[in-house]
Chains A and B, each alone.
Chain A
Amino acid sequence: MTENKITYAIEAADLNLYYGETLAVRDIDMQIEKQKITAMIGPSGCGKSTVLRAFNRMNDLIPSAHATGSVLYHGKDIYDEDVDPVEVRRRIGMVFQKPNPFPKSIFDNVAWGAQINGYQGNMDELVEESLRDAALWDEVKDKLDKSGLSLSGGQQQRLCIARTIAVKPDIILMDEPASALDPIATLKIEDLMHELAKEFTIIVVTHNMQQAARVSDFTAFFNLGEDHAGVLEEYDVTSNIFTNPKKKTTEDYITGRFG
């Protein structure tokens, strides 16, 4: 990996994730670069989404899930007992696989997160700015009072991104953000990710290897270990992973020989 002295946006060390008694992901050590796009790929069930959710403690919402090891964010382990997961999620936002706008107006969808986070500034400006950043402004500026659910799937997903960036997080986690969208909408999301990477650190889980190759700076390949727990098989600059993988399994996966 890069040898610069950049401090990382977030890093996992010896991270083990469990569902109940079952070990789902084992021994993850991973450093995420600031303002870069890091893609997580791998076969189904290898725990990449679980790792993604571990970065903002979304797994807490599953009663049986728990973690050992640490996830360092600004030098602080977010799994420390004195850490409030709500505060973590305010700084590390999330975009989900299926667009999930609130059944509220487009305006309120964007404003809501900022509101509950105590945003004091001009809400109209924030909403416009966020929608512009999400490349949605032109399409919705005349119908901000319409329900967010009235938009198309691709628009809904960009609305969800707008909603996330309105909170001004450091890091945006994206869990297969384009998998439910058609190719054109997918491309728009990918373009948007490039734009967003100028300002935010982005970690994206994807099933689509071309997508990982197109958008990401770094790629992490996850695989199922012998004990059926997910492991981080290989993690490198995207071009290395796709052109010169160090491991045989990575190469097999990339070339479509399994998974």
Chain B
Amino acid sequence: MQNSIDLRKKRRWGETLIQASLFIAGAFSILTTVGIVYELGKEAMNFFAQVSLWEYFTGADWNPQIDQFGIWALLNATLMTTFIAMLVALPIGLSISLYLSEYASHRARRTLKPILEVLAGIPTVVYGYFALTFMTPLLRGIFGRDVVDIYNTASAGIVIGILIIPMVSSMSEDALSAVPRALRAAAYGLGATKLETAVKVVLPAAISGIMAAFIVAISRAIGETMIVAVAAGAGSNFTFNPFEAAETMTGHIVRISGGDLSYDSIDYNSIFAIGLTLFFMTLSLNVISQRIVRKYREVYE
């Protein structure tokens, strides 16, 4: 008896310790986030002390060295690559997820899923060079060398799309798999074919989960850095032509911070303003996606 009481005490010590370390781990991630927001905000304030919000949000030329601070030059390129990426990732990712959840045999799934995981595990810089040395020449072969610049947002966007396919497909598959089996049975019981069941019953039932996946994928595409740094272009350019070079927000941050900036210069502070803008973009997208997911849970629980 005495022994067992001693044991109990020891075990509780360990538990306290583990609980404390788990708490510290949790607190660490929160503090990191707070620290990032603080640092971003502080430096961005320095920037906005010198550049008006109006100029920042309405200008279409971005050249900090010559006092042009229109975020749209970079934002537009980011939106272009993201849009192109989604054009690629959504249909393909969704098709893969439909195939995996509705059609694939056990064996097919066992083969396809690891392949997708490998795709997700490739370093993005490799994707960057894939864009530059494979996708761009391919586009130039199709549309002509005079039409497609060597650095262009189309190539980067397509490859970002490929990069996020695994993400779209795995999150969408989760959403599709969460659709109760009974709904499929109901559809089949009414004489629906597999395709009708998948497209007209399962897909709509999972639509909010899939939407959430899309939005998270969009914010991933917005934040993607190495591919655009390598393949999209290295000079700000406000253009809607996907075959022209244009620099995205993340690409610009990488290029500028890769050089040697004076710490208190306006270019240096501008990086934080861009970072803060990106932060708010991805944050609001994540908030939206969580709202959607919550709404989606309510339907089934």
Direct contact of A and B (CB under 8 A): yes
Residues of A within 8 A of B (CB): 56, 58, 61, 63, 86-87, 89-91, 93-96, 98, 100-104, 112-113, 116-117, 149, 160, 163-164, 167
In the assembled complex, the Cα of A164 lies from the Cα of B82 at a distance in Å of 44
Complex CA gap A222/B189 in Å reads: 24
Chain B interface residue count, CB cutoff 8 Å, equals 21
Cβ–Cβ contact B189 & A58, under 8 A: yes
- New A-B contacts (19) at CB < 8 Å, excluding given A103-B183, A116-B191: A58-B189, A61-B184, A63-B105, A86-B191, A89-B188, A90-B190, A90-B191, A91-B191, A96-B185, A96-B189, A100-B186, A102-B183, A112-B190, A113-B191, A116-B196, A116-B200, A160-B186, A163-B186, A163-B190
Query: How far is A181 from B105 in the complex, measured between Cα atoms in Å?
Result: 36
Q: Which residues of B contact A90 (CB under 8 A)?
A: 190-191
- Chain B residue with the shortest CB-CB distance to A89: B191
Give the residues in chain B near A103, CB-CB below 8 Å: 183, 204-205, 299
B186 to A96, Cβ gap below 8 A?
yes
Q: Does B122 contact A (CB under 8 A)?
A: no
Residue of B105, B189, B191, B200 most packed against chain A (CB within 10 A)? B189
State whether the Cβ of B5 lies closer than 8 Å to any Cβ in chain A.
no
Q: List 27 A-B contacts (CB under 8 A).
A: A56-B189, A58-B185, A58-B189, A61-B185, A86-B193, A89-B188, A89-B189, A89-B191, A94-B185, A94-B189, A96-B185, A98-B182, A100-B180, A100-B185, A102-B183, A102-B187, A103-B183, A103-B299, A113-B190, A113-B191, A116-B190, A116-B193, A116-B200, A117-B191, A164-B189, A164-B190, A167-B190
Secondary structure class of chain B's binding surface, majority of residues: helix
Contact B190 A89 (CB under 8 A): yes
Chain A residues contacting B180 (CB-CB under 8 Å) are: 100
Q: Which residues of B are in contact with A by a Cβ distance under 8 Å?
A: 105-106, 180, 182-193, 196, 200-201, 204-205, 299
The residues of B that contact A98 with a CB separation of less than 8 Å are: 182
Across the two chains, which residue of chain A brings its CB closest to B185? A96
Instruction: Give the docked Cα–Cα distance between A61 and B186 (Å).
Output: 12
Closest B residue to A86 by CB, please name it.
B193
Whether A61 pairs with B192 at a CB distance below 8 angstroms is: no
The residues of A that contact B205 with a CB separation of less than 8 Å are 102-103
- 4 nearest A-B pairs in the assembled complex, by CB-CB distance: A90-B191, A94-B189, A113-B190, A100-B182
B201 partner residues in chain A, CB cutoff 8 A = 102, 112
Chain A residue at smallest Cβ distance from B194: A86
When distances are taken between beta carbons in the complex, the residues of chain A under 8 Å from B299 are 103, 149
Q: Tell me if B191 and A87 are in contact (CB < 8 A).
A: yes
Chain B residues, CB < 8 A from A96:
182, 185-186, 189
The residue in A89, A95, A102, A103 that gathers the most chain B C-beta atoms within 10 A of its C-beta is A103
Q: Determine whether the beta carbon of B190 is less than 8 Å from that of A63.
A: no
Q: Which residues of A contact B184 (CB under 8 A)?
A: 61
Q: Which residue of B lies closest to A84 (CB)?
A: B193
**In chain B, what residue has the closest Cβ to A91?**
B191
State the CA gap A149–B204 with chains docked (Å): 14
Find chain A residues with CB under 8 A from B185 CB: 58, 61, 94, 96, 100
